[in-house]
Amino acid sequence: MDANHLSLRLARVASYVPKGARMADIGSDHAYLPAHLALNHQIEYAVAGEVVKGPYENAAHEINQLGLTDVIQPRLADGLAAIHPADHVDTITIAGMGGTLIAKILDADQSKLSGVKRLVLQPNVGGERVREWLLTNRWQIMAEEVVEEDDHIYEIIMAEPSIVPFAYNDRELKFGPFLLEQDSPAFKKEWQAELARQETAIKQMQKAAQPPVEKIREFEKEMQMIKEVIK
């Protein structure tokens, strides 16, 4: 993979970035995502944020090699601290992290979300945690999809700020309001695998000298919900 040839996962994330966006890609690694968009004249400006020195240096090198220093600014910073007021960022992408970490990054410095019109989030795991944060902070999910690549399944969530009331029930938070409506083989595969993991966990708990009855009931309740969704 490089800036000219994104992975399927990143290509799908890129598809949700509006044309002409001023974006911040948090956890940008080699900056392949913003570089790809810049090379294809899809964005006006980008910040490539990295909290680790090595990936930050990789991003800076990639940007320089591609001659994109006038469009993309690499920044060594923690999360949204990479965004400066003068950047006038209107789109934020965060891809390739756990849902809990994504929520933590968004929560840590919400002042940086002022003026942002779109979040494109790709949790490797923990999509439910991302949706809970979005609901709590009034970011409405506008689109979702599941992508399977190299035996891994990823969720992509696109959200925009909402001034009108909205809500998600427990099932929508867990599985995704849009994903529930899609007949996606990757979605079913993801939850079939989770079902198998929970079945194994219950068997292990039942072998204990004093099985955790309440915990087993919680798992069984969740398994029933999964079965109803993927039937």
How many angstroms from the chain centroid is the CA of residue 78?
17
Can you give the pLDDT at residue 212?
A: 87
pLDDT tens digits for range 37-93: 999 999 999 999 999 999 999 999 999 999 999 999 999 999 999 999 999 999 999
Token reading at 142: 């506008």
Q: Is residue 116 domain-shared with residue 218, that is, in the same domain?
A: no
Q: Does residue 34 fall inside a structural domain?
A: yes
What's the mean pLDDT in 214-222?
87
Q: Is residue 54 domain-shared with residue 23, that is, in the same domain?
A: yes
What counts of helices (H) and strands (E) characterise the chain?
8, 7
Q: Is residue 152 domain-shared with residue 194, that is, in the same domain?
A: no
In the predicted structure, residue 1 carries a pLDDT above the cut 80: no
Q: Is residue 74 domain-shared with residue 150, that is, in the same domain?
A: yes
Distance set, CA 70 to CA 39, 84, 159, 166, 216 (Å): 12, 16, 28, 40, 56
Q: Is residue 98 domain-shared with residue 12, that is, in the same domain?
A: yes
Q: Is residue 62 domain-shared with residue 114, that is, in the same domain?
A: yes
Q: Does residue 173 fall inside a structural domain?
A: no
Q: Does residue 130 fall inside a structural domain?
A: yes
Q: Does residue 121 fall inside a structural domain?
A: yes
Q: Does residue 81 fall inside a structural domain?
A: yes
pLDDT tens digits for range 203-217: 888 888 888 888 888
Q: Is residue 136 domain-shared with residue 223, that is, in the same domain?
A: no
Q: Does residue 43 fall inside a structural domain?
A: yes
Q: Does residue 217 fall inside a structural domain?
A: yes
Can you give the pLDDT at residue 52?
A: 93
Q: Is residue 135 domain-shared with residue 192, that is, in the same domain?
A: no
* pLDDT greater at residue 95 or residue 219: 95
Q: Is residue 153 domain-shared with residue 101, that is, in the same domain?
A: yes
Overall size of the chain counted in residues: 231
Can you give the pLDDT at residue 209?
A: 84
Can you give the pLDDT at residue 151?
A: 86
Q: Are 125 and 97 in contact (CB under 8 A)?
A: no
In the predicted structure, residue 122 carries a pLDDT above the cut 80: yes
Q: Is residue 141 domain-shared with residue 54, that is, in the same domain?
A: yes
Distance set, CA 110 to CA 1, 11, 73, 105, 130 (Å): 32, 27, 21, 9, 15
What's the mean pLDDT in 91-120?
96
Q: Does residue 23 fall inside a structural domain?
A: yes
* pLDDT greater at residue 130 or residue 199: 130
pLDDT category at 180 given cuts 50, 70, 90 is very high
DSSP-derived 3-state class of residue 49? strand
CATH number at 120 reads 3.40.50.150
* CB proximity list for 30: less than 8 A, separation 6 or greater: 2, 3, 55, 58, 59, 62
Task: Print the domain residue range for 225.
Answer: 187-230
The region of weakest confidence among 45-59, 97-111, 214-228 is 214-228
Structural domains in the chain (count): 2
* pLDDT greater at residue 205 or residue 21: 21
In the predicted structure, residue 4 carries a pLDDT above the cut 80: no
Can you give the pLDDT at residue 231?
A: 81
Quick one: the chain helix, strand, coil %, rounded to 5? Answer: 45, 25, 30
**Nearest alpha-carbon partner for 24 in 104, 82, 111:** 82
Can you give the pLDDT at residue 207?
A: 85
